[in-house]
Amino acid sequence: MAELIKLKQIERDSYQDCYASRNGNNQPIQFLRREDRSPTNDIPFEVAFDGTIYAATVRDRDQNINATWELQVNINGTQIFVLPKPAGQNSNRDDTLSFDVNQGDKISIAMINQSETIRDPAGSVHIRKRR
């Protein structure tokens, strides 16, 4: 049993998810907020280890099925990629990303290029530890 617990701990320590969202209706450029409600441009996520961003997800409420917007991901203040939320879908995921990040890098997440007011936008960035 101790070996199984140790394996689960290693798996948890090998991945980091940066999730941010905003409640209510949002328009023009908005930085999404961490779970403690602080905007990611004020208090960005700090990368816990040298790793690779391997996936990102964007979503909003079902009412916005025809709205379009983009999730902008910045590392240390520089935009590194944008993930669109296309019309006709309430989410999008890209599992083909490969952006290296280093321990201590700062990640901020913003909502940009909205076609209309967006209800409850959210996005996440998934990082895997480099071996």
Domain ranges of the chain: 16-129
Do the strands 122-129 and 15-21 form a parallel or antiparallel pair, or are they unpaired? antiparallel
pLDDT at residue 64, rounded to an integer: 67
Please tell me the distance from the alpha carbon of residue 58 to that of residue 74, in angstroms, as a whole number: 15
Q: How far is CA 84 from CA 21, 71, 123, in A?
A: 15, 6, 11
Beta strand residue intervals within 3-68, DSSP E:
15-21, 25-26, 30-31, 45-46, 51-59
Those residues with Cβ within 8 angstroms of residue 37's Cβ, 6 or more apart along the chain or in another chain: none
Are 57 and 92 in contact by the 8 Å Cβ rule? The answer is: yes
Domain 16-129 class in CATH: mainly beta
Average pLDDT over residues 104-115: 90
| Of 88, 97, 28, residue with least CA distance to 57 | 97
Written as six digits, the tokens of 15 are: 């991945």
Nearest to 23 by CA among 125, 122, 124, 123: 122
Tokens 């328009």, residue located: 27
64-93 residue pLDDT tens = 678 888 999 999 999 999 999 988 888 999
Residue 5 has pLDDT above 60, yes or no: no
